[in-house]
Amino acid sequence: MTTAGREWKGERERLRRREGDANMRADGFDAVVVGSGPNGLAGALTLAGAGRRVLLLEAAERFGGGLRSEELTLPGFTHDVCATALPMAAVSAAFRSLALPVDFAHAPLPVAHPLDGGSAVLVHRDPAQTAAGLGRDGRAWQAVIGATARAGDPLVDTLLAPLGLPRAPLAAARFGVLGAQPATVLARLAFRTVPGRAALAGMAAHSMLDLRSPITAGFGMTLAALAHHAGWPVVRGGSQRLADLMVDRLRELGGETVAGHRVTSLAGLPPARTVLLDVTPRQFLAMAGDRLPPRYARRLARYRYGPGVFKLDWALDGPVPWKDPAVGRAGTVHLGGTLEEIALSEAQVARGVHPARPYVLLVQPCVADPSRAPEGRHTLWAYCHVPNGSAVDMTAAIEDQIERFAPGFRDRVLARHALDCAAMQERNANYVGGDIGAGLADVRQFAGRPVYSARPWRTPLPGVYLCSAATPPGPGVHGMGGYQAARLALRAG
């Protein structure tokens, strides 16, 4: 028996006693998956669905990674710790292949973008209805966003599998020409009005990049198109329900799952022909020690992490009192005002400055799913971008932005809960410095994530694959990193 095998045998006995599980297999595993975020879970299920015996190991006490839900404020109020609006989970090839019975809940409006003066851009599921509300920019919205949405799943699959053959080559080529632009450039070229430009900026700012950077327009186009194509749903009862469904399915397929077990070294894993790591380059370097070829290790060491987030959750005694009541019908709300204001905020963060008026991404889960709070009450979820590793309390700045468009908001607050960059990383080690995207997604690192390679999921270590959001296609709850890594492993035999 190898040293790793002997170490795991002792660890298995410890875990068996702790879990009270007398039926843990004694005959080994075909695959070990480290990390139970959406990518790790998708990878584990892809392997198990192909008949592989899978062991899933998770450092936290609960499975799910960014799909965890907790009572962060008051009893009876369910809050999503990280991911909450999940447009990509509704459409990605990884989740479509699993056919999970997910109970998605949709708000009447996917997205709203309030402006000063009491008006707001309302993004409906119907692009024509959205265009009608944009006046002079309606035709441009249909041409840029509506056309992207109408390309449907073939274009979505192409964008979420960027290293494969495009399913929709013409639509992908058109998207590439427009999406390669900085969001500030496309907004000014395509749209003539403040609302049209602001709506694109609010979408593009999800990229956590300076909006003057290339490819930020592509982020905005994708997310806006998904609002029309699939909506921006939440999972009824909390995002944790999606993770739980995936873990249950894995167990049904014969997989074993162990939470509360932090992997610090690859040497401590049980022998298996396939290892999938839902970790970022920093954790992989620590786990691998000196086993990696020096050149590859140096490339991983140059991997860059992006801005962090400061996140707030509130328990409210009622709905947010928006100046424009229609905003109260939206699941997600972008706060930041005009294109110029949002671009300034994101540029400041990119320079290491904390903006006085930050762009705020806000979700009203109870608009779609009232079960998350006691009757008549509401939960609210929001974050702003901050320099990586920031310890600055942004509560006042975020709440000032909400009050700007919803005077009297603070009077509705029953309790609040804050997570700064350190707290985000403590809850999920992949969020290095509070970076919930697991790495900067600028044009250089978008193409080389985590290294330049035709198969970036494969590492130089035999049978070892990376599958986190630090691999293509990058951030988002789509499971495609795990799905792609698992399929690559299956083809390897």
> What is the per-residue pLDDT for 65?
95
The pLDDT, as a whole number, for residue 161 is 87
Q: What is the pTM of this model?
A: 0.92
**Per-chain mean pLDDT for the chain:** 93
Rounded to an integer, what distance in angstroms lies between the CA atom of residue 127 and that of residue 147? 9
pLDDT tens-digit map of 10-45? 555 555 544 444 344 545 899 999 999 999 999 999
pLDDT at 2: 41
> How far is C-alpha 398 from the geometric centre of its chain's CA atoms?
21
Mean pLDDT on 348-358: 97
The CATH superfamily assigned to 3-68+236-303+439-492 is FAD/NAD(P)-binding domain (3.50.50.60)
**Phi, psi values for residue 452, rounded to 5°:** -75, 120
Domain ranges of the chain: 3-68+236-303+439-492, 141-229
Nearest to residue 383, comparing CAs of 115, 106, 82?
82
Task: Show Cβ contacts of residue 416 under 8 Å, excluding neighbours closer than 6 positions.
Answer: 73, 312, 313, 314, 315, 395
* Cβ-contact 92, 478 below 8 angstroms: yes
pLDDT at 14: 55
pLDDT, tens only, 231-248:
999 999 999 999 999 999
* Cα three-residue angle 146-199-327, rounded to 5 degrees: 105
φ/ψ (deg, to 5) at 256: -105, 145
C-alpha span between 106 and 283 (Å, rounded): 36
Per the DSSP assignment, residues forming a β-bridge with 463 are: none
pLDDT of 468 higher than 70:
yes
The count of C-alpha atoms lying within 13 angstroms of the C-alpha of 10, restricted to the half-sphere facing its C-beta, is: 7
Q: How far apart are CA 366 and CA 19, in angstroms?
A: 35
Q: Which two tokens stand for residue 159?
A: 């964008």
Share of the chain above pLDDT 70, in %: 95
Residue 369 exposure: Cα atoms within 13 Å on the Cβ side:
26
Mean local confidence (pLDDT), 257-280 = 96
- Output the pLDDT for position 493: 80
Both structure tokens of 96 = 């479509």
Instruction: Name the H helices within 111-215.
Output: 127-132, 138-141, 147-150, 152-160, 169-179, 183-190, 194-204
| Better pLDDT: 162 or 68 | 68
Q: Are 364 and 328 in contact (CB under 8 A)?
A: yes
How high is the pLDDT of residue 90? 87
Task: Give residue 99's region: left, alpha or beta (phi > 0; psi -120 to 50).
Answer: left
Is the per-residue pLDDT at 474 higher than 80? yes
The burial class, CB within 10 Å (0-12 / 13-18 / 19+), for 299 is: middle
Q: What does the pLDDT read at residue 15? A: 56
pLDDT at 27: 58
Q: Are 46 and 479 in contact (CB under 8 A)?
A: no
pLDDT at 17: 47
Rounded to 5 degrees, φ, ψ at 311 are -115, 140
How far is 457 from 455, CA to CA, in rounded Å?
6
- Structure confidence by residue, pLDDT tens digits, 130-145: 999 999 999 999 999 9
The answer, yes or no, to whether residue 187 has pLDDT greater than 90, is: yes
Residue-wise over 122-135: b if at least 16 C-beta within 10 A, else e? Answer: bbbbebeebbebbe
| Separation CA 368–CA 313 (nearest Å) | 17
Task: Please choose, from the candidates 117, 82, 74, the residue with its C-alpha nearest in 3D space to the C-alpha of residue 437.
Answer: 82
Contacts of 452 (CB under 8 A, 6+ apart): none
The answer on pLDDT for 148 being more than 50 is yes
pLDDT of residue 24: 46
Q: Is the pLDDT of residue 102 over 50?
A: yes
* pLDDT given at position 201: 98
Is pLDDT of 8 > 70?
A: no
Q: What pLDDT, on a 0 to 100 scale, did the predictor assign at position 164?
A: 74
Q: What is the pLDDT of residue 10?
A: 52
Instruction: Provide the token pair at 370.
Output: 């009232």
Region 172-189: mean pLDDT is 96
Task: With a cut of 70, say whether residue 104 has pLDDT above it.
Answer: yes
Tell which residue, 420, 428, 306, 462, has the closest CA to residue 36.
428
User: Each residue of 367-426: pLDDT tens digit?
Assistant: 999 999 999 999 999 999 999 999 999 999 999 999 999 999 999 999 999 999 999 999
